[in-house]
Structure 1
Amino acid sequence: MPTARAKRSTSPASVPDTPPSATAARRKPRAGTGPTPREAILSRYLPRILTAKVYDVARETELETARNLSARLGNQVLLKREDNQPVFSFKLRGAYNKMAHLSAEELARGVICASAGNHAQGVALGAQRLGCRALIVMPRTTPQVKVDAVRALKGEVVLEGDSYSDAYETAVQIAQRDHLTFVHPFDDPLVIAGQGTIAMEILRQHQGPIDAVFVAIGGGGLISGVAAYLKAVRPEIRVIGVQTTDSDAMMRSVQAGKRVRLNDVGLFADGTAVKQVGEETFRIARELVDEFMVVDTDAVCAAIKDVFQDTRSIIEPSGGLSVAAVKQYVERTGCTGKTFVAITCGANMNFDRLRFVAERAEMGEEREALFAVTIPEERGSFRRFCELLGPRSVTEFNYRISDERVAHIFVGVGMSRRGESVEIADTFRQHGFDAIDLSHDDLAKEHLRHMVGGHSPLTENERLFRFVFPERPGALMRFLSSLHPSWNISLFHYRNQGADYGRILVGIQVPRSDRASFRRFLNTLDYPWVEESDNPVYRLFLR
């Protein structure tokens, strides 16, 4: 996947064993010259981070070893669990630090912010603690769990626009009209300093070598604070910023040498869906961040699953960016024995999204491959194809009779290693079945897998049944081997939902003369079944 390297100034020498006051950030400029932009940033932000007021509302979160992921990658992966904050996100650090520095008069008038949800909760909690009014402008696309959380903290919610940038414009107008103090989610030195306390905790919690810290980027406040502290105290640690492929404003800005505004942003990782990064955060990130990476939706879903397997916690998509990037970085570089920190920055996700995450996680890990396979429309070819799959796990099977000569099957197959889909497709072709690998086809993954089927003119003597199968190898072949050779399968739909039992819809063409033997077949079958031949949905959409 593409990466971008930041424009760099000359790094000061690493002084890992000296206190922060003796680091490069506190060094005096060379005689006759002013400080470099890098030195100016470090000297400005280090004292602000060290004196940040965050612990009235925030807690020092755990730095946990992701044992399963570390073993799989051959590197130590440490998770900085900002998803365990009281509002399930790091955002309360910067928000409260800003608000704690306001005057009594400013607090009396109240505060306002624009946020996709996590910053909003931080502002609402801070306002509750400080006893002031908080008006929160949120995009209409914000997950309901975040809207409800803000209201539970007594924040006043206004829903406006489809992205953070839309909500921001509305919030600025209201702030000017009502004389409220605007608490920026990222482009404010006090907010940046508050987020920088995360890096301070990381170095306190792990005093051994750290090769890189991976940080999600939305507007840039988190990575600016983290980079400012790390490069002042431990400049040898690489800081790697991570964005999604459809919300990469910071990476594009660094590449262009100026702030770039995106026309649209992806909304899956809503916490980092920002059309334009801040002026201050861009200035800091361009100077201090070592590398920028982008990850796609499937990789983020796989990362959410990885964190769950190690911690039994579910993080939000933006919280999975850093973990996805660690995996991608290790695969790209082939490194081993390194120590990486991934900041899991939030856990505010709608429960309804878990279905999508679970489905796409297998694609992100390349544990599932999707194929379009063409087989002859003749009795026995369906069984031959299933026999060819052998012991492999079938994750999805969609087929509808539509042609007298050939049948088109949409099938998902479990994989044991990356790159196996090419071998599977070759095996299909070697046995006379044309196959197209759809594993990286977004149209197939997002839509076609749910649309295969429909009306067919070739449904004479077709009967429709729902069967419940135990989810174990061989169950499908046992069913197929029980069918009489003169019975034709005309429809088949199956999707592995992760349960102990799978539910399969099957259309079977049974000649009138075979109805008695077909009834005996059903009565001797060990699987529960329900006939749906008279179901009106079947007649409307499939017959």
Structure 2
Amino acid sequence: MPLHIETPLVTSRPLSLAAGRQVTLKLEALQPPGSFKIRGMGAACEWHASRGKRRFVSSSGGNAGIAAAYAGRELGIAVTVVVPETSTAHARELIRQQNAELIVHGKAWHEANALAMSLLTEHDAFLHPFDDPLLWTGHATMIDEAVRQGDRPDAVLLSVGGGGLMAGVVEGLRRNGWGDVSVIAVETIGADSLNQAAQAGERIALDAITSIATSLGAKQVCEQAFSLLQSHPVRCVTVTDQAALAACERFLDDHRILVEPACGASLVLAYANAPALANFQNVMVIVCGGATATVDQLRAWRTS
């Protein structure tokens, strides 16, 4: 049995009314560790465990680390997670809950990642939070499920951090004969490495992450995500932090599910009936989840 669960695909009446079109929700927030990350991370951990690795080492702003820690505990393998100083106290506690070793290092993810890489021995497996084909293949299972669960969408709406979710979704679309379904890729301003790469025509690196959506805090997207700009119909959109926070609160009222701003970024477009949705009548939103935010944290961000 895989470490992830099959999640519901439901039609959202509130979001459909707001967007003026059918909006379905792939509810990845219901995964046991709180986000879609367990799909790819679980697949990668099982692959490495079958090859005799004795420890998993990962770097993460939160959700990937939580997923790695969950997978390691389920498989009976030790896990070390290195998080940057920007990770929330709640995210750190969730990693510790899974009995993983937690190390806090660096002002941004790339610094935490460098330390994680330095810890590796021949008996360890490194678990990248987004740039690994094992992850993409695992994430693609959400599209396998969606094919069984509902109608073919015109577009898939999702959030982009390092690009692992987008890479997995496109892999899933293609292997199910949905390769012409568009992807609407949403980022918060200040963590918009894909959007800026699209504008520049090259895979640039941001000088710094200034968005509160730290789960989207990759200064540079993976090469696979950038290449998909040329090989798949992708629309890049940015939203503000405040809009993402407002969407999180509204989604909590509408569906009784708490998500973090990185996920709220995608919900903004549906609630606002954004121009990027034009010409699409059936939009599937990947409610990617995120366990790193609390209600109190959302309120604090809204007033900061």
TM-score relative to the length of structure 2: 0.92
> Equivalent residue for 1:241?
185
Given the alignment, which residue of 14, 17, 34 partners 1:71?
Answer: 17
Compute the displacement of 1:350 (Å): 3.1
Compute the displacement of 1:247 (Å): 0.5
> Does residue 216 in structure 1 map to residue 162 in structure 2?
no
- Render the CA deviation track for 1:145-204: whole Å, top value 9, x for unaligned: 11111111111000011221121111111125x752211111111111111111111222
Q: Secondary structure of the residue that 1:60 maps to in structure 2? A: coil
> Equivalent residue for 2:102?
157
> Does residue 320 in structure 1 map to residue 269 in structure 2?
no
Distance 1:229 1:336, change over 3 A: closer
> Does residue 250 in structure 1 map to residue 194 in structure 2?
yes
Q: 1:220 and 1:73 mapped to 2: Cα distance?
A: 25
Q: Which amino acid aligns with 1:78?
A: T
Q: Secondary structure of the residue that 1:210 maps to in structure 2? A: coil
Q: 2:215 and 2:63 mapped to 1: Cα distance?
A: 7
> Equivalent residue for 2:249?
305
Compute the displacement of 1:281 (Å): 3.3
Compute the displacement of 1:98 (Å): 0.9
Distance 1:255 1:331, change over 3 A: closer
> Does residue 134 in structure 1 map to residue 92 in structure 2?
no
Q: CA RMSD in A?
A: 2.1
Compute the displacement of 1:96 (Å): 1.2
Distance 1:77 1:260, change over 3 A: same
Equivalent pair of 1:220/1:285 in contact (CA under 8 Å): no
Distance 1:134 1:323, change over 3 A: same
Compute the displacement of 1:74 (Å): 1.6
Q: 2:66 and 2:212 mapped to 1: Cα distance?
A: 19
Distance 1:333 1:264, change over 3 A: closer
- Render the CA deviation track for 1:310-351: whole Å, top value 9, x for unaligned: 2112111111121113345x3326848811111111232134
Q: Secondary structure of the residue that 1:354 maps to in structure 2? A: helix
Q: 2:258 and 2:277 mapped to 1: Cα distance?
A: 28
- 1:279-290 mapped onto 2 (5 Å cutoff): 279-290=223-234
> Equivalent residue for 2:217?
273
Q: 2:50 and 2:276 mapped to 1: Cα distance?
A: 52
Q: Secondary structure of the residue that 2:138 maps to in structure 1? A: helix
Given the alignment, which residue of 161, 164, 169 partners 1:226?
Answer: 169
Distance 1:283 1:236, change over 3 A: closer
- 1:275-424 mapped onto 2 (5 Å cutoff): 275-328=219-272, 330-332=273-275, 335=278, 338-348=281-291, 349-356=293-300, 359=302
Q: 1:105 and 1:212 mapped to 2: Cα distance?
A: 38
- 1:89-104 mapped onto 2 (5 Å cutoff): 89-102=35-48, 104=50
State the structure with more CA Rg: 1
Compute the displacement of 1:287 (Å): 2.1
Compute the displacement of 1:113 (Å): 0.5
- Render the CA deviation track for 1:421-470: whole Å, top value 9, x for unaligned: xxxxxxxxxxxxxxxxxxxxxxxxx5xxxxxxxxxxxxxxxxxxxxxxxx
> Equivalent residue for 1:191?
135
Q: Taking every aligned residue pair, what percent have the same amino acid on both sides?
A: 30
Q: Secondary structure of the residue that 2:23 maps to in structure 1? A: strand
TM-score relative to the length of structure 1: 0.53
> Equivalent residue for 2:29?
83
> Equivalent residue for 1:57?
3
Equivalent pair of 1:83/1:319 in contact (CA under 8 Å): no
- Render the CA deviation track for 1:54-82: whole Å, top value 9, x for unaligned: x5211111112221221232211111111
Q: 1:235 and 1:105 mapped to 2: Cα distance?
A: 33
Compute the displacement of 1:265 (Å): 0.7
Compute the displacement of 1:285 (Å): 4.7
Aligned length: 302
Distance 1:333 1:115, change over 3 A: closer
Equivalent pair of 2:186/2:266 in contact (CA under 8 Å): yes
Equivalent pair of 1:144/1:350 in contact (CA under 8 Å): no
Equivalent pair of 1:211/1:339 in contact (CA under 8 Å): yes
> Does residue 167 in structure 1 map to residue 102 in structure 2?
no
Q: 1:294 and 1:106 mapped to 2: Cα distance?
A: 42
Where in structure 1 are there 5+ consecutive unaligned residues? 1-54, 361-445, 447-543
Q: 1:153 and 1:103 mapped to 2: Cα distance?
A: 17
Q: 2:137 and 2:240 mapped to 1: Cα distance?
A: 29
Distance 1:174 1:286, change over 3 A: farther
Equivalent pair of 2:160/2:166 in contact (CA under 8 Å): yes
Compute the displacement of 1:309 (Å): 2.3
Q: Secondary structure of the residue that 2:140 maps to in structure 1? A: helix
Where in structure 2 are there 5+ consecutive unaligned residues? none
- Render the CA deviation track for 1:398-422: whole Å, top value 9, x for unaligned: xxxxxxxxxxxxxxxxxxxxxxxxx
Given the alignment, which residue of 105, 120, 123 partners 2:65?
Answer: 120
Q: 2:30 and 2:210 mapped to 1: Cα distance?
A: 25
Distance 1:279 1:290, change over 3 A: closer
Q: Which amino acid aligns with 1:324?
A: V
Equivalent pair of 2:180/2:233 in contact (CA under 8 Å): no
